[in-house]
Homo-oligomer: A and B are copies of this chain.
Amino acid sequence: MDLHILDHRLRVISISKSGLVHFTHPLVKLIFLRDRTRCKFFSLTETPENYTVVLDEEGFKELQPSEHLQVENSIWLPLNVVSNGNASSSSQAVGVTKIAKSVIGPLAQQHVREKDLSVVTATLEEEFNIFREEGGESVPVHCQDDVKDVQKNGKEALRPMVHPVLIPQNQFCVMSLDPDTLPAIATTLIDVLFYSNGGPKADGESSPSRDLDCIKFFSFSLIDGYISLVMDTEAQRRFPADLLFTSSSGELWRMVRIGGQPLGFDECGIVAQISQPLADSDISAYYISTFSFDHALVPEEDISRVTAMLQHQRTEPDAS
């Protein structure tokens, strides 16, 4: 398998719930008006606590400093796993877990910050051919000798579950959208992203999402012209059914949310704690990290196995 270090230098930002209104102008621009900005990597994820924005430095310039904005100081690099010459995408759910294990497991003890890049290549070069994207070209990356000794520190050790796990009741959809049809869902998407908290309710907006067992979670990303959306079935019903695509009709996912309190960026290995046992059990999963929590999406039909597995792991951390 090949691992590509993409040509994006990313910032990770948190916007407070009450502060989002002050960023409507730049965010609407970044989401809907690609011709107005040079940003090529943008993602916005709403969780119950806040909004997480991950975007490249061109996009970051659009956001004015504010008391409502919390900026993580590091530059982050996105890694893209390519198998059999095809980039892993949202339409190829099978195999994602194995990939996640291969990439995330070995990196669990290391940050994926730009300043850690030499450590990343040293950690992963046994399992991957590593390339760095530079101006559209893939340049092979080789490990420097002086960092080889950081390699494989505790690589194979199974990590005990440290953080509590929440499995909310909502069912989620992982979808893609043709960028040319983005205008057709603009008002609905704007409504869901910027006006779903407070004010008179829109027709068809019911209250179950406020139940304690359900979680507010909505994610939009526009990366190199590709749009991905993750939302629960309640939000999905507000969109035209014929414009959003899933990898297979009616595919539903459940969420495993990791962390009972904000985790912080200095704490690593959180995704690895869950990705490894999921991969060992051949259960597919999507992973979405936000400013405060990590989230894994697993197929609806596997949720009872996942629940049992996580309980087992929690009570006997060294047994599986």
Q: Which residues of A contact B (CB under 8 A)?
A: 21-22, 24-25, 28-29, 32-33, 35-38, 182-184, 186-188, 190-191, 194-195, 199-203
Contact = CB atoms under 8 A, between A and B. Distances in A.
Q: Select the residue from A21, A37, A38 with max chain B CB neighbours within 10 A.
A: A21
Given A21-B25, A200-B38, A33 B184 contact: no
Given A32-B187, A37-B199, A182-B187, 4 more contacts: A24-B25, A33-B187, A35-B201, A35-B202
Given A183-B184, A184-B183, A184-B184, A191 B24 contact: no
A243 B313 CA distance: 59
A230 B184 CA distance: 23
Given A25-B21, A28-B24, A194-B25, A35 B203 contact: yes
B191 A33 contact: yes
B37 A200 contact: yes
Contacts of A202: 33, 35-36
Contacts of A21: 25
Nearest to A26: B21
Contacts of A22: 22, 25
Contacts of A32: 187, 190-191
A11 B88 CA distance: 54
Contacts of A38: 200
A19 to B, nearest CB: 11
A183 B191 CA distance: 11
A194 B24 CA distance: 11
Contacts of A29: 195, 199
A182 B183 CA distance: 11
Contacts of A183: 184, 186-188
A200 B24 contact: no
A206 to B, nearest CB: 14
